[in-house]
């Protein structure tokens, strides 16, 4: 099904909604982690928290952008794109971390606790906001079925 079909457009809109919700949640959580890290550890904590949040946000944005791009495709194509995207993102993240810890002039300059806490909070913020947005989206496959309106029922039918 192409994006020009009604179902494809709706799927793309849903994927975009989840992308934007995730971005908002991730940034809100990241700001909290970055602020606490900066106060607790100064510039070193600030930089580590920024780095952790940035890694998570880039990882998630690439993944969700793939979902937006392939939202209207058939399920096998979506699965293949998702798995390829995940492999690419994991490889990219491992490369960045490897480069930092092995090629930097002072690998210990990156405080690991703020890095991990910031990454964990950013992921949590992303997922919580995405779950909230998903809860608010209308997905017909998961809606409760309704009874056919009864001519004697003025409400027009009731959800089961």
The answer for residues whose C-beta is within 8 angstroms of residue 11's C-beta and 6 or more apart is 71, 72
Report pTM. Answer: 0.75
Find, among 22, 99, 104, the residue nearest to 63 by Cα.
22
Find, among 64, 68, 58, 63, the residue nearest to 85 by Cα.
63
pLDDT reported for residue 97: 83
pLDDT reported for residue 112: 87
How many residues does this entry show for the chain? 160
Cβ pair 55, 119 in contact under 8 A: yes
Find, among 14, 36, 34, the residue nearest to 26 by Cα.
34
pLDDT reported for residue 145: 63
Phi, psi of 146 (to 5 degrees): -110, 155
Q: Which tens digit of pLDDT belongs to each residue from 58-77?
A: 999 999 999 999 989 998 99
Q: What DSSP string describes 81-134? A: HHHHHHHHHHHHHHHHHHHHHHHSS-GGGS-HHHHHHHHHHHHHHHHHHHHHHH
């Amino acid at each position: 099904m192409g994006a020009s079909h009604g179902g494809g457009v709706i799927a793309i809109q849903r994927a975009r909604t989840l992308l934007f919700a995730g971005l908002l949640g991730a940034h809100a959580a990241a700001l909290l982690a970055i602020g606490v890290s900066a106060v607790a550890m100064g510039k070193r904590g600030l930089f580590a928290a920024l780095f952790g949040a940035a890694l998570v946000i880039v990882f998630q944005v690439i993944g969700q952008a793939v979902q937006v791009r392939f939202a209207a495709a058939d399920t096998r194509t979506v699965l293949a794109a998702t798995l390829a995207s995940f492999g690419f993102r994991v490889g990219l993240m491992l490369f960045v971390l490897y480069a930092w810890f092995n090629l930097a002039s002072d690998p210990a300059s990156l405080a690991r606790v703020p890095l991990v806490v910031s990454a964990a909070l950013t992921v949590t913020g992303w997922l919580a906001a995405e779950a909230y947005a998903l809860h608010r989206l209308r997905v017909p496959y998961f809606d409760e079925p309704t009874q056919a309106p009864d001519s004697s029922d003025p409400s027009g039918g009731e959800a089961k």
